[in-house]
Amino acid sequence: MSFNATNFTVSILLLMALTIFMAFVRVRKPIDNNWPFLYWVLVAVLTISHPDLFDFRVIAVGLIAGLMLRFEFMNPSLVRLAMVVELIIGVYILHASWMTIMSY
């Protein structure tokens, strides 16, 4: 189990770093920030171009949660629920990315 530095694996490592950064942005910045939405679009495009990387249904749930948070029309308890769902999907992305890197 060693790291094979190819263009694909380094790109996945950058996606993992961006995922961690987006978790901090989601917690610290206002909810109507555009950066997490752009992140979810990037992950959705990556999932469509590499279908064996992530399960698109899980990524779609994260995209929907990000959209719900972006257009904040909910009460605070639903906002927290959407943030928790988005965090869980982020953990899934980190885990699946790590497993992909180690098996590549």
Among 99, 48, 37, 47, smallest CA distance to 70 is for 37
Residues 78, 60: Cα–Cα separation, whole Å: 18
**Between helices 56-70 and 76-103, what is the axis angle to 10°?**
150
- C-alpha distances in angstroms, 104 versus 9, 12, 101? 8, 11, 5
In order along its 104 residues, the chain shows pLDDT tens digits of 677 888 999 999 999 999 999 999 888 988 878 888 899 999 999 999 999 999 999 999 999 998 888 876 778 888 899 999 999 999 999 999 999 998 88
Domain ranges of the chain: 7-103
